[in-house]
Amino acid sequence: MTAAQLMLAVLWIGLTLYALLAGADFGAGFWDLLAGGTARGRPQRHLIEEVIGPVWEANHVWLIFVLVLLWTGFPPVFAAVMSTLYLPLTLAALGIIARGAAFAFRKASDVLWQQRLFGAAFALSSVVTPYFLGTVAGAVASGRVPPGLAAGNLIRSWCNPTSVLGGVLAVGTCAYLAAMYLCHDARRLGRPDLAAAYRRRALVTGLAVGVLALAGIAVLHADAPALSGNLVHRALPLVIGSGLAGAASLALLVARRYLLVRATAALAVTAILWGWAVAQYPYMLPPGTPYTEVAATPAVLAAVLVVTGAGAVILLPSLAWLLILFQRQPAPGRHDVV
């Protein structure tokens, strides 16, 4: 494996983690949006805040990680994607601001109309942001981002069937992941009624995403034939694997195995992301830009890979501690006592 290939793999691992962790956060915002009126929705919103509060920042650093690795490892790709897809990416960036800030502010405010306002901003941007990020994925996958600065079509590059499919799939997947994660958390926090509600939602969205993905094959066949050709050949095992894991997740949800379903659902999403990568390899900007042409010099790749490895050694135990701590209840009566 060359350094450039290793870098690609690290980049894709980062993207996968972003999709799985931050995706669930976005999805939680989706359910926040649909939680209903102020009084009726309060228990659900409370659960959502409780569950994503301590971890959401850590979850979202994966995006920064991916951006930085992309501009360091494959600078011309970063420049081409950012300049041609300037519009959806600006909108996604605004969504990220609105979302992060509103979530923080809602928790820190105690006046109802403000909570409503911040809550609405949080929930709306949770849906809008993954949509635009999905359209970006669709633009790259369907070969609409040529190398060079703003060399592609500024509108049609992300307003096309594949991009719309990407956007809708992203929103749907986020919603599904969140509903599925929330089942276990609701049960853990002693709210079996909410667990049942989220189980229903997870089943519905899971089915919907599955149907959409199947329909998507037809879309890709017409709109991005090169990609779809590879998806049903080279990447077929991963595509089938994703389907099986998805079906298993639905079965586990029916059986109320809420912890186990986390594994299979994550597997389904991971398999489809890596299926896309395999189908597109070795091109980073299909149809004509293989990664070898755009990779940074070996010294840079080596330095960043070494730093990444060393960073992971510190990072992973810290992250594990956060997640473990987070499953623990507060010690009663230790507020502000030395």
Partner 1 sequence: MVVGVRAAGPADLVAAREQMALSLGWHIVLACLGVGLPALTAFAEWRAIRTGQPVYLALAHRWAKAMGVLFAVGAVSGTILSFEMGLLWPGLMGTYGQVIGLPFALEGFAFFIEAIFVGIYLYGWDRLPRRVHLLTAVPIVVSGVASAFFVVSANAWMNQPRGFRLVDGGVTGVRPWAAMFNPATAPQTIHMILAAFMVTGFLTASVYAVGMLRGGRDRYHRLGFLIPFTAAAVLTPLQIAAGDYAARFLAHYQPTKLAAIEGVFNTGSHVPLHVGGVVRDGQLRYAIEIPDGLSLLVGYRPSTVITGLDRVPVADRPPVTPVHLAFDLMVGVGFGLLLLGAWLLLAWWRRRDLPRPALFLRLAVLAGAGSVAALEAGWVVTEVGRQPWVVYGYLRTADAVNPAPGLTAGLVLVAATYVVLTVASVHVLRRLAHAGQDAAGPLAAPQEAAPPQAAPQETVP
| Token pair for 270 | 């991971």
Which of 204/307 has CB closer to partner 1? Answer: 307
Q: Closest separation between CB of residue 321 and partner 1, Å?
A: 7
- Residue whose Cβ sits closest to ligand HEM: 64
> Which among 56-64, 115-123, 171-179, 244-252 is the span making contact with ligand HEM, rule CB under 6 A?
56-64
Residue 247, CA distances (Å) to 24, 107, 204 in order: 19, 37, 13
> Which among 57-65, 155-163, 167-175, 268-276 is the span making contact with ligand HEM, rule CB under 6 A?
57-65
Site for ligand HEM in 64-83 (CB under 6 A): 64
Contact partner, 118, from ligand HEM, partner 1, none, Cβ < 5-8 Å per class: partner 1
How far apart CA 143 and CA 141 sit, in angstroms, is 5
Is position 50 an interface residue for ligand HEM (rule: CB under 6 A)? no
Q: Closest separation between CB of residue 234 and ligand HEM, Å?
A: 35
- Asked if residues 131 and 88 have their Cβ atoms less than 8 Å apart, the reply is no
Contact partner, 124, from ligand HEM, partner 1, none, Cβ < 5-8 Å per class: none
* Continuous segment of H or E residues that includes residue 64: helix 56-73
Residue 278, CA distances (Å) to 129, 132, 148, 282, 301 in order: 26, 23, 24, 8, 21
- Asked if residues 233 and 222 have their Cβ atoms less than 8 Å apart, the reply is no
Is position 101 an interface residue for ligand HEM (rule: CB under 6 A)? no
The DSSP string of 6-30 is: HHHHHHHHHHHHIIIIIHHHHHHHH
Q: Closest separation between CB of residue 82 and ligand HEM, Å?
A: 12
Which of 116/200 has CB closer to partner 1? Answer: 116
Is position 57 an interface residue for ligand HEM (rule: CB under 6 A)? yes
| Token pair for 243 | 């389907």
Is position 61 an interface residue for ligand HEM (rule: CB under 6 A)? yes
How far apart CA 307 and CA 32 sit, in angstroms, is 38
What are the residues binding ligand HEM (CB under 6 A)? 57, 61, 64
